A and B are shown apart, each in its own frame.
Chain A
Amino acid sequence: MHIYVQEEDFSQDALLRDIGKSSQTGAIVSFIGKVRDDTNTLHQLEIEHYPMMCKQALRAMAEDVKKRFLLEDVLIVHRFGKLNVGENIMMVATASSHRQAAFDGANFLMDYLKSNAPFWKKESFLDGTSKWVEPKESDAHAMTRW
């Protein structure tokens, strides 16, 4: 398992080289979340995190998803700090024997992370205002589908 919490950007290529190295791995699925601006009003996205809790919370999630979907390997990288539009926020990758478990595992992990990983997003806008991102109702309920 590979867990990274960092301020600097990451390279998908470099990270993917490290996961699913066992001969049992036949499928790797990866997902990247990026800073989006639907209305051309966003200046920056600031991500606050709880350093003392982050790694152990992400590791527990990765262990859970690995067991639940019988995955070969799991990777989570999540950034913190001030990010510009278009920058990478985070990435998950799952490795398994067959593709369905890798897809499902990555999907589950994203639902899990949204409401259980100790990060908080604050949007700063071009007009000088800012606001904390509210959790989406749909994210809170997403786990119920599993």
Chain B
Amino acid sequence: MDVKLTYFAWVRERIGLHDETYTTSATTAQELALELKERGENYSAAFHDLTLIRIAIDHEMAQWSACIKDAKEVAFFPPMTGG
């Protein structure tokens, strides 16, 4: 399955990409992150502690256990600091 991955703030900086298209067989957001973590030093630096990262699936906030099978876009970012 092809999914668009988008990264923000220090997650984006550590990975060195704003977005990419990725092919995965992961079924949950957590499986996807653990898969990404193994892709190289930049990814492991970004995903070393998943408790520091929040996710959105198709522009809606989601839990790590959420299913990504029908997802078009999964975003990874630190806790938001709006306002």
Contacts and interface: CB of A to CB of B under 8 A. Distances in A.
Contacts of B83: 33, 89-90, 110, 113-114, 117, 119, 139
A140 B75 contact: no
A116 B78 contact: no
Nearest to A56: B59
A132 B80 contact: no
B82 A78 contact: yes
Given A56-B59, A116-B61, A118-B56, A50 B6 contact: yes
Nearest to A116: B80
A2 interface: no
A117 B79 CA distance: 10
A50 B81 contact: no
A140 B79 CA distance: 9
A119 B82 contact: yes
Contacts, number: 67
A48 interface: yes
Interface residues of A, number: 27
Contacts of B56: 50, 53, 118
A121 B75 contact: no
Interface in B47-83: 56, 59-61, 73, 75, 77-83
A7 B47 CA distance: 30
Contacts of B79: 115, 135, 140
By Cβ-Cβ distance, the 9 closest A-B pairs, closest first, are A117-B82, A119-B82, A120-B9, A53-B59, A114-B83, A135-B79, A113-B83, A133-B81, A121-B81
28 contacts: A48-B8, A50-B75, A52-B59, A52-B73, A56-B59, A90-B82, A90-B83, A110-B83, A113-B82, A114-B80, A114-B81, A114-B83, A115-B80, A116-B80, A117-B82, A117-B83, A118-B80, A119-B80, A119-B81, A119-B82, A119-B83, A120-B8, A120-B9, A120-B78, A120-B80, A120-B81, A121-B81, A132-B9
